[in-house]
Chains A and B, each alone.
Chain A
Amino acid sequence: DQQVKQNSPSLSVQEGRISILNCDYTNSMFDYFLWYKKYPAEGPTFLISISSIKDKNEDGRFTVFLNKSAKHLSLHIVPSQPGDSAVYFCAASGAGANSKLTFGKGITLSVRP
């Protein structure tokens, strides 16, 4: 049973526009949510996170929104740049010190020049 779902496998946007990447989860025990970005031939790199006590976290061009009642989060990238083209993974974990990360299947974002 997939606890973290990224239902859209790909997204294409024009440079300068907003990219919105969505993620849904089923486990109400998740307390932390993270986004990772992955380029080909490299490992994923951490992008931004949010805890369940917040509904928004912003870091430069990247903002993550959390809707706990809907068990939904989204990553907004504004403005999108061609260098943002990568696979984006949503991940979630519980609050325990040894709680493992559960990843979604990823979304391939393509930003057209």
Chain B
Amino acid sequence: KAGVTQTPRYLIKTRGQQVTLSCSPISGHRSVSWYQQTPGQGLQFLFEYFSETQRNKGNFPGRFSGRQFSNSRSEMNVSTLELGDSALYLCASSHQLTLPDEQFFGPGTRLTVL
């Protein structure tokens, strides 16, 4: 079974630009969550999508948005990039059929904002 894939793996943008990151979950998983990892801050939850609906949202500004498609693939968009948005963005999928809900992570997209 293929794992969670994220594209692109690396991205360099400049302040003010926008960026779209993509995540393909494990086949059969309907839940996709996004996290931001920065040095010293651990994994901070951005949002979770389940069956194309945003079900949970973290404490991030509205510049961060996402969506999920009918095939469970998900995209995350960040508009008006700031230097502080430089981070590793991780996507995780789960089937949510049992508890605890073990999440399977992709390798992440390393975003650098110059």
Q: Is the CB of A97 within 8 A of B35?
A: no
Interface of A is mostly: loop
Bound complex: CA A101 to CA B43 (Å): 10
Complex A-B: 15 CB contacts under 8 Å: A34-B100, A36-B105, A41-B107, A42-B108, A43-B92, A46-B102, A46-B103, A46-B104, A49-B100, A49-B102, A89-B42, A97-B99, A101-B101, A102-B45, A104-B42
Chain A residues at the B interface, C-beta cutoff of 8 Å: 6, 9, 31-34, 36, 41-46, 49, 51, 89, 91, 93, 95, 97-106
Q: Is the CB of A44 within 8 A of B90?
A: yes
Task: Count contacts on B: residues with CB < 8 A to the other chain.
Answer: 26
Q: Quick one: given A32-B100, A43-B4, A98-B56, are A105 and B40 in contact (CB under 8 Å)?
A: yes
Residue of B whose beta carbon sits closest to that of A104: B42
Chain A proximity mask over B22-39: 1 for CB below 8 Å, otherwise 0: 000000000001010000
Residues of chain A within 8 A of B43, CB atoms compared: 44, 89, 91, 103, 106
Q: Quick one: given A98-B50, A100-B56, are A43 and B102 in contact (CB under 8 Å)?
A: no
